[in-house]
């Protein structure tokens, strides 16, 4: 019956991913079947922590996050938890030996969201590392499945891809972050006077992250390569659309890729994969 509990817990993480992100869930389904469950488990955990700091208004967010953090470490140590999201997460952490310092860095960034509303350059880098780069590294632990040499070789690219995703999200979600959560992640940027120069500087940084990430995607294990490549193409397309958007419009709308656009991206990626020209 323990297997059934494992299955039910992992199904909760899968459903969480599918409900919160169609793009990520679609990309995960393109991974090899061996990798899908573990990555769903990671995303379910990340999503719940993010919900605490972003949407649980009217509740003691700090207490809830602290309880979630304590329960996370207890689940990893005990190798069991009645919270299905944390139980499925600990299955992945323990199976793939995900370092605890990555989880600690993630919680550190979540805690920053509880109190910080703006960042200097150092704080921005710290936040990006904990909120996004470590998630890329957790996934890389799964993809490399114990191959430490391969993991070390691809660490930089995993971090760059996580950073690119997060920075694109920041630009996409400026309206919600700035107007409703009073957060400004980009150092030195005043969104009440968001200039073309500000936007271009941010975009140049993101383009550099995408460039570095792409090099590592080509070297990923075959089981992971196509799914990660499609996620990369989704976000790259979103980034290109944001680049075409006027600075003044960033605060007025949430930029997105329509479903037919995602289908087209997937089709093109599939063709390139068939001809081995990623």
pLDDT digits 0-9 by tens, 24-78: 888 899 999 999 999 999 999 999 999 999 999 999 999 999 999 999 999 999 9
* 2-274 topology per CATH: Farnesyl Diphosphate Synthase (1.10.600)
The partner residues of 184 in beta bridges, in order of sequence, read 118
- Alpha-carbon distances, residue 195 vs 162, 177, 277 (angstroms): 26, 18, 38
CB 18 within 8 A of CB 97: no
pLDDT of 247: 84
Summarised one tens digit per residue, pLDDT across range 222-271 is 999 999 999 999 999 999 999 998 888 887 777 777 666 666 766 666 66
pLDDT of 153: 97
* Secondary structure of residue 184 in the 3-state scheme: strand
pLDDT of 275: 46
- For the chain, give every domain's residue range: 2-274
Per-residue pLDDT, averaged over 163-186, amounts to: 86
Q: Which two tokens stand for residue 275?
A: 């001809």
- Burial label for 271, CB within 10 Å (0-12, 13-18, 19+), is exposed
Q: Is the pTM of this model over 0.85?
A: yes
């Amino acid at each position: 019956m323990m297997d059934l509990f494992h299955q039910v817990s992992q199904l909760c993480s899968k459903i969480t991913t599918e409900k919160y992100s169609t793009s990520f869930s679609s990309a995960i389904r393109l991974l090899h079947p061996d990798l899908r469950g573990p990555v769903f488990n990671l995303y379910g955990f990340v999503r719940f922590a993010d919900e605490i700091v972003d949407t649980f208004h009217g509740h003691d967010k700090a207490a809830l996050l602290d309880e979630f953090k304590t329960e996370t470490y207890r689940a990893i140590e005990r190798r069991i938890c009645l919270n299905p999201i944390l139980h499925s997460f600990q299955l992945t952490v323990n199976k793939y030996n995900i370092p605890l310092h990555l989880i600690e860095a993630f919680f550190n960034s979540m805690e920053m969201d509880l109190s910080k509303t703006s960042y200097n350059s150092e704080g921005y880098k710290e936040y990006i590392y904990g909120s996004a780069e470590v998630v890329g590294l957790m996934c890389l632990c799964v993809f490399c499945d114990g191959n430490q040499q391969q993991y070390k070789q691809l660490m930089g690219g995993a971090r760059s891809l996580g950073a690119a995703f997060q920075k694109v999200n920041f630009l996409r979600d400026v309206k919600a972050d700035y107007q409703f959560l009073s957060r400004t992640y980009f150092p030195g940027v005043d969104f009440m006077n968001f200039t073309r120069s500000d936007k271009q500087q941010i975009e140049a940084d993101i383009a550099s992250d995408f460039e570095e990430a792409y090099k590592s995607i080509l070297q990923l294990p075959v089981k992971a390569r196509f799914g990660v490549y499609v996620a990369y193409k989704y976000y790259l397309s979103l980034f290109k659309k944001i680049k075409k958007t006027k600075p003044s419009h960033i605060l007025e709308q949430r930029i997105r890729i329509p479903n037919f656009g995602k289908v087209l991206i997937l089709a093109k990626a599939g063709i390139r994969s068939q001809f081995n020209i990623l």
